[in-house]
Amino acid sequence: MNPKKSKILRIIARLNVGGPAIHTILLTEALNNDRFESILVAGCVDRSEKDMIYLARQKGINPIIIPELGRQINPIKDLIALWKIYNLIKREKPDVVHTHTAKAGALGRVAAMLAGIPIRIHTFHGNIFQGYFNKIYVILFIFIERLLAYFTTYIVAVSETQKKEICQRYKIARLDKVKVIPLGLELEKLFTIESRNGYLRRELKIGDDVTLVGIIGRLVAVKNHRMFLEAIKCLSTHVDNNFNLKYLIIGDGKERPALEEYTKNLGLDGDVIFCGWRQDPENIYSDIDIIALTSLNEGTPVSLIEALAAGRSVVATDVGGVADVVEDGVNGYLVPSGDVEGFSKRLAELIEDSQKRRQFGFKGREMVRGRFSKERLIEDVKNLYESAIPS
């Protein structure tokens, strides 16, 4: 006799391009089997954001969309979203409500508590207490998260660094309540790509003699693309003039017009290409030589995991969970946030030393192969659910 399936109701504020959306979609797909039934609930993306609902549908998932659920704080819409989530939970009667990202975490856990669902799990994907809101909001959000933690069975952190922040820096929950489950991604294509397959370079009319430096992510303030632009402006003082360089900014968002204007003001518009969103990571990582990340705050950055899986070298700011992915001087370089000169020097080192780029790429690929696999993620989450659900 087959055991009864456990029903998981997974809630995320929106399926915008990024790690949280990929994470929830992969888990929903994988944990629909003879042991689990998974339902994905999501809100709506902002107008300036790219929606990843296409990925869910590619994998046979039709998320339940709650239009009032989104990133922005709106008391009326938030109350409507809470009511709809509560009614959905009462109707579906899940064994576990698992929330992802801050807004969904607050509304989803309150709704689950009101509906009498005993197992409530929340995943922190980033750190909303740094780089997003002013000090008053941060104090309020920390207070709310501490309250919610009392009614949460387990809190999931995506890195050891994040667990320390949750438990020790912000004192949101006890150490034993917070479980570390790193991200897991579909990396197989990236492990096998050839360096410089030429597709992206042909599309952008960039020759093989050009060293390409790229940055990938949403064009929003917390990603700090201005630091990237300032660092490449400084490169002329660190790199021999014989090097032919181009820079790609891949992604989109509300900061794009301001960043394009800033690029012109710095005199970089002839060298920097804004590529918008792309859905072909294997072509991107194949043709870019160095991946940069200049964020003010990160959970675990997907772009760095993918870059390392593709054998690329990286230079990144040492914030959040970045150090859980990049080991300074081993598979990339870490630079203090805001250190434009230091960032520029590290880029210059890799531009001028192709052997070091290959060495970092080899080490990076080795490191991510097991640590950030989709299979490991699914097994970890399955074990967490089974430890929480009464047998």
Render pLDDT for 143-158 as a digit per residue (tens, 0 to 9).
999 999 999 999 999 9
Which ranges of 93-234 would DSSP assign to H, the alpha helix?
Answer: 102-114, 135-150, 160-164, 188-192, 199-204, 225-234
Residue 2: which pLDDT band, with cuts at 50, 70 and 90?
low
Helix, strand, coil percentages in the chain from 3-state DSSP, rounded to 5: 45, 20, 35
Rounded to 5 degrees, φ, ψ at 169 are: -75, -45
Of the candidates 373, 182, 187, 185, the residue with the CA atom closest to the CA atom of residue 285: 187
* pLDDT bracket for residue 305 (50, 70, 90): very high
Does position 130 have pLDDT exceeding 70, yes or no?
Answer: no
| pLDDT bracket for residue 129 (50, 70, 90) | low
Mean pLDDT of 262-271: 97
What radius of gyration do the chain's Cα atoms show?
Answer: 21
Q: Are 149 and 291 in contact (CB under 8 A)?
A: no
Average pLDDT over residues 321-347: 97
CATH 3.40.50.2000 location in the chain: 6-184+373-388, 188-371
Burial class (CB in 10 A: 0-12, 13-18, 19+), 242: exposed
**Average pLDDT of the residues in 270-292:** 94
Per-residue pLDDT, 128: 66
- Residue-wise pLDDT tens digits, 50-97: 899 999 999 999 999 999 999 888 999 999 999 999 999 999 999 999
Q: What's the average model confidence in pLDDT over 103-132?
A: 90
Q: How far apart, in whole angstroms, are the C-alpha atoms of residue 348 and residue 290?
A: 10
What's the pLDDT at 1?
Answer: 46
pLDDT of 240 higher than 90: no
If you classify domain 6-184+373-388 with CATH, what class do you get?
alpha beta
| DSSP H or E segment with residue 384 | helix 374-388
For residue 228, pLDDT beyond 90:
yes
Q: What is the CATH number of domain 188-371?
A: 3.40.50.2000
User: What's the mean per-residue pLDDT of the chain?
Assistant: 94
Amino acid identity, residue 211? T
pLDDT of residue 391: 79
